[in-house]
Amino acid sequence: MKTSPDIARGREPPAARARRVFQTPLAVRLFSLFAVIILAAVTAMMAVAAAVIFATNWALGLFMAAVAAFIGALTGYVWRDLAGKWGLRVVLDPDTVTLDLPAGRSLIHRPPAQHLTIPYADIAAIETRFESYSSLGASMMQQAYVLRRKSGELIFLFEDRALATAIASTMFADIAAELAVRAGVEVRELGMVQGRGGLLGVWGTHAPDWAARPLPLARQLRLWRHAASSGSLAILFIILAMMIRAYFGGH
């Protein structure tokens, strides 16, 4: 387990005591909103098509209905992610942190929504760990952050996703570090654990308990390589799909 050097409370520069408000960047939130709109529109079109086709070809209509149901379920998943990104807010004041944490801030841990203000003096540590999830031969890596209060209570903060890929999200590392500085506590790195990825990392996922032992280093390195190769493969599939669409669209 790695730890950052202890920082004595009150020793940081004056600028570190200024009020800071953190929210998910607007571009990220708008992208998620766009994805929800597109998926919802496709779901509606597929449902209408299924109803029309069912009258003349029930087998094809049934297939279309199943596809519409799948895309509808995926729309709900992306909507939950949007709600988590849009509602997340962290306010660092001189002596307290105010946390507005929606339920969708994690798509695997499924923490409850929490809205609370915590004095820095009540914070024991900020803890973080890497989490690997595999599904259908592909792996994804994320980094979760938890606030540990001196009472022992754990508060799930947020998570960076798609690590080791070209679309990695690492927006939370900075705010977690600043929170630790203001509280004068450690950022405890707890290593890596492996959870259950379920179907496509969307349904049937399961995160290990926060007290789970970290994986051996050799296993961690293999999972990092697998996550990187999975991410590269996904990008290649996207590029290939775009090339095929462009080719047939021009013929």
Q: List the chain domain ranges.
A: 29-82, 122-249
> What pLDDT shows up at residue 121?
95
> What pLDDT shows up at residue 171?
86
Q: Report the distance separating Cα 233 and Cα 242, nearest Å.
A: 14
The pTM of this model reads: 0.77
> What pLDDT shows up at residue 128?
96
The residue ranges of the chain whose pLDDT is under 70 are: 1-16, 137, 200-202, 230-251
> What pLDDT, in 10s, does the model give residues 142-155?
999 999 999 999 99
Length of the chain: 251
Q: Report the distance separating Cα 126 and Cα 176, nearest Å.
A: 7
